[in-house]
Structure 1
Amino acid sequence: MFRAISLGFASLSDKGIMLILVRVMLLTLLAFAILGFSLWYAIDAIFYKLGYANDGGLSAVAAVAVLLISGLVLFRMIAIAITWVFSDDIIDIIEAKHYPFEAACGKRPSNWQSARMGLRSAMRALGYNLLALPFYLILLVTGIGAPLVFLGVNALLLGRDLEDMLVARHGHHFAAFGKGERLMLGLAGAAGMMVPMLQFVVPVVATASAVHMAHGKFRVRTK
């Protein structure tokens, strides 16, 4: 796994991967900006309906507070959903460069399939994190309990997302991970997404790492 993650980071030297990373970063920031402005107007409208007049400043502060509180979950959802849009391009680049034989054996999913899997991933992340929300709140006072629960939940989700990207192309018999591998890869990715600035890089690197892990394991099995 460590070799796969190392190769995933090394893939950032590829011009094509870097262009995808820039797109993911810009689209993620744009999505957050749109979400922030939407929250601002929604909260402002609620204040107005309640008869509490303000110049928009309080609404802006409230919107920022909501974004900061929910930022980890929302960022993970948005970043992964956007990465899903480019995941097949990432896989194409990595496979063409390192695994041409495996690339020829796979079949790229249609845009509709990718969009459907991306939406399913986002809804799954929202659902599981909403279910875990009471535990986040209860354990918030411990200082470390809530982040650990968040890490565990999102490690499982991210590991499954990464596996699904490859299974959709190569089939379960070829690209599936073991439970331990899926968890460890997801754990590394979820932990990275809790680090400021590294959050933007992790989804792209994790996708590249998953390709190296799946194909590296297959080559070992067939030797």
Structure 2
Amino acid sequence: MIRAFFLSLGQLGDPAIRRVLIHSLAVTFAIFAAAGVVLWWSVRAALAQWTGAQAGTWSAALTVVIEVLALWLAFRAVAIAVVGVFADDIVAAVEARHYPQALASARPVPIGRGMAMGLGSATRVIAINLILLPVYVVLLVTGVGTAAAFLLVNAWLLSRDLGDMVAARHMDRAAMRRWRKATGPGRFLLGLAAAALFVVPGLNLLAPVLGASMATHFFHRRRQA
């Protein structure tokens, strides 16, 4: 996994991957910016109705608090969902440089399927993390329990999402299900490495692209083993 990380880091300058990185970051931040505007107007309207007066300062403060919480809970989900739409370009670029023999059997993932996979990923992440939110809150008393639980849960979720981005180019749905069962422990380590990137400031912005690239190395090295 360490080798896959450095190979992925070294390929960030690839034009195809750089293009995906720029597009995915632009779309991700546009989504959060639009959500922030909608949230601010909603909070402002709600406070005005409850208090009977304009509450600009309070609405702005409450919006910031909610947006920060949303970023903590949903950034990974939104970022992976967005990258999922462009993931085929990342996988193809990594395969072209490191695994050219795999290109013969690769089938480009239709954008509709990529969007469906990304939406499914985002839905799973948000739903499961919301369900576990009370557990995260209770574990705050341990000091590190919340961070550890969040990391492990999201590693498990990422292990499927990232693996599917690559497997979808080379396998049908039945074969993908068999591949998931056969590669569970290895994919979990992949997910753990990607989840760790999401908690490192700066690297968290690169984490979705690096994760997709690392997943490509993992997929093909396992097939070659």
TM-score normalized by structure 1?
0.92
Report how far residue 175 of structure 1 moved. 6.2
User: 2:192 is matched with which residue?
Assistant: 187
Residues 28 and 82, structure 2, Cα contact 8 Å, conserved in 1: yes
Report how far residue 55 of structure 1 moved. 4.3
The 2-side partners of 1:170 and 1:34 are apart by 36
- RMSD of aligned alpha carbons: 1.7
Which 4+ runs in 1 deviate beyond 3 A?
172-177
- Which blocks of at least 5 consecutive residues in structure 2 are unaligned? none
After superposition, the Cα gap between the structure-2 partners of 1:117 and 1:102, relative to the gap in structure 1 and judged at 3 Å, is same
User: 2:49 is matched with which residue?
Assistant: 49
1:200 to 190, 205, 208: 205
Q: Where do 1:67-78 residues align within 5 Å?
A: 67-78=67-78
- Which blocks of at least 5 consecutive residues in structure 1 are unaligned? none
Residues 155 and 188, structure 2, Cα contact 8 Å, conserved in 1: yes
Report how far residue 65 of structure 1 moved. 0.5
User: 2:115 is matched with which residue?
Assistant: 115
Q: Secondary structure at the match of 2:11?
A: helix
Q: Secondary structure at the match of 1:129?
A: helix
User: 2:22 is matched with which residue?
Assistant: 22
User: 1:135 is matched with which residue?
Assistant: 135
Report how far residue 106 of structure 1 moved. 1.7
Report how far residue 52 of structure 1 moved. 4.2
**Aligned amino acid, residue 144 of structure 2:** I
The 2-side partners of 1:163 and 1:212 are apart by 10
Report how far residue 136 of structure 1 moved. 1.0
The 1-side partners of 2:202 and 2:89 are apart by 23
User: 1:151 is matched with which residue?
Assistant: 151
**Aligned amino acid, residue 210 of structure 1:** A
The 2-side partners of 1:113 and 1:167 are apart by 13
Residues 198 and 207, structure 2, Cα contact 8 Å, conserved in 1: yes
Report how far residue 107 of structure 1 moved. 1.0
Report how far residue 140 of structure 1 moved. 2.0
Residues 167 and 219, structure 2, Cα contact 8 Å, conserved in 1: no
User: 1:212 is matched with which residue?
Assistant: 217
Q: Percent identity?
A: 38
**Aligned amino acid, residue 87 of structure 2:** S
Matched, 1:168 2:177: no
**Aligned amino acid, residue 33 of structure 2:** A
The 2-side partners of 1:175 and 1:110 are apart by 21
User: 1:89 is matched with which residue?
Assistant: 89
